[in-house]
Amino acid sequence: MAPDARRRLVRLEVVPYLARPVTSLTQIVVVGASLAGLRAVEALRRLGFDGRITWIGAERHLPYDRPPLSKDVLAGTREPARIALRDPDSYDELAVELRLGRRATRLDLAARTLSLDDGARVGFDGLVIATGSCARTLKGALPRAGVHLLRTLDDALALRDALDAGPRVAIVGAGFIGAEVAATCRTRGLEVTMIEPLATPLLRGIGAELGARVAALHRDHGVDLRCGVGVEAIEGGARVEALRLSDGARVPADVVLVGIGAAPETAWLEGSGLRLEDGVVCDSACRAAPGVVAAGDVARWHNVVYDDSMRVEHWTNAVEQAGHAAATLLAGDGAEPYAHVPYVWTDQYEMRLQIAGHPQPGDATRIVEGTPEEGRFVTLFGRGGRLVAAVGFQRARQVNAWRRRIATGTRFDDAVALGAGTSGAVAG
């Protein structure tokens, strides 16, 4: 986007959608112009807020969908224009002052002002924090030619350009991003080594048994998967040449993707008075302070479904939490808890894996609705006698149904009895 488009002021009369009046807020600032920020803005207008909205985004791009970055965009089968979350011409109807390419640097809660990296100060009486997260990196990895992160559209395009040369690719981390990029690189015919310090890919998300199935999938597609080892050093001068692993092995590489998770974007909030603990700490309604809410990757809230504090980095949560946070901001003291059952999916090769809920090590498990041999099945997870999660291989409709049962507090034994299949054994 051109520099003169970083700040655009759009005025349009917005018809309230609520029969009841909203609070007396007159100027709301939304920080973060990705999925959660967009859905928060849309929800504010949908819920009847007709005051001023200033919307700030660190990237110069209008909001876009991130899941395709590691798949279709990286593969070259989808261009950036096709991952836009909204038609560019439709932003006028939101009646917002949109400042792209601007980063928030400081929050003054007492003065109700926000400072930006261009020296501007923005006042507010309501604030939505939706700054998301940033990719973690290895010590000494950046800046070095050939070493990449994958968090933004610009990251994806830079990595795609690097892959066009047919390089040897090393991927550090076999979580969602690492595994998806490995699959995309193999579909492009590239040589891929994937390094994971844990025993299997996705170990924390789905457990060792199901993680072993993901490992087998990648090995069957030609990935050199090395689990249980870490990276000791990145070799090369200005450009990466190889990775030296903790077991002494050396992995030659022309391109390295570091996919070792993300950290919430909260540095700009230090000293603000907000509580920061791996995210912006919120109550059960997503409220971080009077007149301040948070949503998406950056928010840590008390989830009443699990009676636990959690921060969720998934697409579905960004959508659902942003809408709830907007409603909380307008409702004031009358806000309802945000009761959320996490849901995430990943596409790797021909396989789609869905996870609903919050599985943890030590959970009881039972396979229902299919069998591993046919490659289409659901595994249920139980803890404290309750159904807490469901993981499905090629079973999207069934996992969504189990997600609804998790939300209602279904007992684990009752859930197992409801399952269409009886294969597998209770573990844990």
Whole-angstrom distance, CA of residue 81 vs CA of residue 71 = 15
Q: What is the pLDDT of residues 60-102, one digit of tens each?
A: 999 999 999 999 999 999 999 999 999 999 999 999 999 999 9
pLDDT for the residue numbered 420: 54
pLDDT for the residue numbered 278: 97
pLDDT for the residue numbered 426: 33
Q: Name the pTM for this structure.
A: 0.92
E strands, 384-424, are 386-393
Token digits for 48? 């009847």
* Number of residues written out for the chain: 428
Q: Which of 420, 376, 368 is nearest to 395 (CA)?
A: 376
DSSP type of residue 310: E
Q: Which positions of the chain have pLDDT values less than 50?
A: 1-22, 421-428
Radius of gyration over every alpha carbon of the chain, rounded to an integer in angstroms: 23
CA distances to 2, 62, 193, 406 from 5, in Å: 5, 10, 41, 45
Instruction: Identify the structural domains of the chain with CATH numbers, from first to last.
Output: 3-133+263-334 (3.50.50.60), 137-260 (3.50.50.60), 350-418 (3.30.390.30)
pLDDT for the residue numbered 23: 60
> Angle, to 10 degrees, between the axis of helix 176-187 and the axis of helix 203-220?
10
Contact by Cβ (8 Å): 303, 339: yes
